[in-house]
Amino acid sequence: DQQVKQNSPSLSVQEGRISILNCDYTNSMFDYFLWYKKYPAEGPTFLISISSIKDKNEDGRFTVFLNKSAKHLSLHIVPSQPGDSAVYFCAASGVDFNKFYFGSGTKLNVKP
Amino acid sequence: GAGVSQSPSNKVTEKGKDVELRCDPISGHTALYWYRQSLGQGLEFLIYFQGNSAPDKSGLPSDRFSAERTGGSVSTLTIQRTQQEDSAVYLCASRRGTNNEKLFFGSGTQLSVL
């Protein structure tokens, strides 16, 4: 039973345009949401997070939006760069941070 | 060390053999996780250690899988009688404590069972 879902396995975007990666979750008790980025042969690296008390968090070119009523979050990358090409994982945890549930990932390809 | 270290980076084994995967977390991190990523799949939770508490083993797929964490630091994931479906990337992650949400991942061990 997958509690965090990323329904788009891949996304292709032109350099300079916006990339929007989506994530849905089923557990209303999730309190923190994170995005991780993974290059081939490397471990995932933390990108940005958002608490359930917020609906937006911004860090440079990266913005995460949270819609609690829809149980949906999205990651916006503006402008997209070829170096952003990677697999992006959405993750969620409860208030105790003990368990992190990951989506299946979205492979982003930013074309020069 | 500066980051989470995993060894070996690659392991090829024959079906039925036992394997041990090692994880050295970031110094001072009290929480340690094991995940695995099968081809085309997401990150699957396996086991979680927090300090001296009993580990959360709820993600281990069968009793062929076990893990220990000695001295609150290094962890070993053991897979007995490996099967082809065990082939995956095994990722270890650590975090500082109970109130820090960031996980820091190692580069993983690519396990191939022939």
Please give the residue that has the higher pLDDT: either A14 or A29.
Answer: A14
| All domains of chain B in start order, with CATH | 5-107 (2.60.40.10)
Whole-number Å distance between alpha carbons of A112 and A41: 23
Whole-number Å distance between alpha carbons of B50 and B96: 10
User: What is the assigned CATH class of domain A4-111?
Assistant: mainly beta
Cβ-defined contact of A97 to B100 (cutoff 8 Å)? yes
Q: Is B25 on the interface with A (CB under 8 A)?
A: no
CA distance to partner chain A, nearest, from residue B14 (Å):
22
Q: What is the pLDDT of residues B65-100, one digit of tens each?
A: 999 998 878 999 999 999 999 999 999 999 987 665
Whole-number Å distance between alpha carbons of A54 and A52: 5
Q: What is the pLDDT of residues B9-66, one digit of tens each?
A: 999 999 999 999 999 999 989 899 999 999 878 899 999 998 888 899 999 999 999 9
Whole-number Å distance between alpha carbons of A67 and B45: 25
Cβ-defined contact of B99 to A97 (cutoff 8 Å)? yes
In the predicted model, what is the mean pLDDT of residues A31-56? 93
Q: What is the pLDDT of residues A33-44, one digit of tens each?
A: 999 999 988 999
Please give the residue that has the higher pLDDT: either B112 or A2.
Answer: B112
Whole-number Å distance between alpha carbons of A104 and B109: 19
Cβ-defined contact of B33 to A100 (cutoff 8 Å)? yes
Cβ-defined contact of B45 to A97 (cutoff 8 Å)? no
| Residue-level length of chain A | 112
pLDDT of residue B79: 98
